Structure 1
């Protein structure tokens, strides 16, 4: 992860950053990368730890994973919004879906990034001004991949029930079974 060309003054005087993720190697890597960029990160590996830090020492910035072992990262976002409304929060997840992105933004996240996102993506999202549009992604998901992600999300929400998923997607059950049996598109 190369350090981008940005002015550390863009961060501001309060450089506190809360990183919440249950993937410990990723969390350590991101912490080191964000320190190099001038932030003062604090790590949390669970919803409970993230909420405790957000309550005791609400940070100016936060990067919160959506799915954690002990719950939903949106609970941490809500706690941060209550304790420090001006905090800039980015939700990071490996399970990208439009519905969760909308929910994250509605409760106060400024951006939503799908994994794998590197420290440059995170820094750009945290420091982006609201009147600026972020640059387009370097490698956006293909339409086939977006469709596959949506089907997987509905399948999980239906507790992996093929018949219920097919009904909700208005799709024949056998067609859905064939799609689920294939590998994910790139």
Structure 2
């Protein structure tokens, strides 16, 4: 006779000790940002961090190689034109170390031949500078419908490059001129004056 009419369970305690599946965290997206423009690196690194990347920064190829040796990235954003070895060298080095790395190559001036060479070496996508964080993330994912930045066969003017860079920094600072000036280490009035100047449109001669 059983108390309260409840029969003892036919299962032993051990039979209830079932092993639950272990939920693994997704692999962290480690990103290496390589550009000799320190200000651009700072702003872009902050924007990419907000988008879920663990960002390491290097300002030349040799420094980037050291970072790769210590903390192999899953993603990379590499400027082609820097003092010393070309960014193309770094693309090849990273793909050798990590064949599945996603690499976006950036440059302020370029040629179609250089773009083709970067892709041959393993670059995932090719964007003209200045490119923002959303464009870079989309390039990593290679989403359909994303329009590739135009690749010109001649360099953009220095004034145009500077003006576009200032606009990008201002946008990342939410349109706050004072914050943008601090980020650029520039006097507020100087920044305002530069922003008011529109670069002369590039001519196709």
Q: 1:35 to 1:20 in 2, by over 3 A?
A: same
Indicate the SS of the match to 1:68.
coil
Q: Which residue of 2 aligns with 1:184?
A: 202
Indicate the SS of the match to 1:59.
coil
Deviations 1:25-63 (A, max 9, x none): 000000000000000000000010111112332200000
Alignment partner of 2:99 out of 75, 85, 90: 85
CA distance in 1 between counterparts of 2:92 and 2:125 reads: 15
Count residues in correspondence.
136
Q: Which residue of 2 aligns with 1:150?
A: 153
How do residues 1-186 of structure 1 correspond to structure 2 at under 5 angstroms? 13-128=27-142, 132-136=143-147, 141=150, 149-151=152-154, 184-185=202-203
> So what's the TM-score if we normalise by structure 2?
0.61
CA distance in 1 between counterparts of 2:28 and 2:52 reads: 10
Assess if the C-alpha contact under 8 Å between 2:33 and 2:77 holds in 1.
yes
Greater shift, 47-56 or 88-97, is seen at 47-56
Give the superposed CA RMSD: 2.3
Pair member with larger Rg: 2
Assess if the C-alpha contact under 8 Å between 2:103 and 2:140 holds in 1.
yes
Gap runs ≥5 in structure 1? 1-11, 154-181
Assess if the C-alpha contact under 8 Å between 2:138 and 2:146 holds in 1.
no
> So what's the TM-score if we normalise by structure 1?
0.66
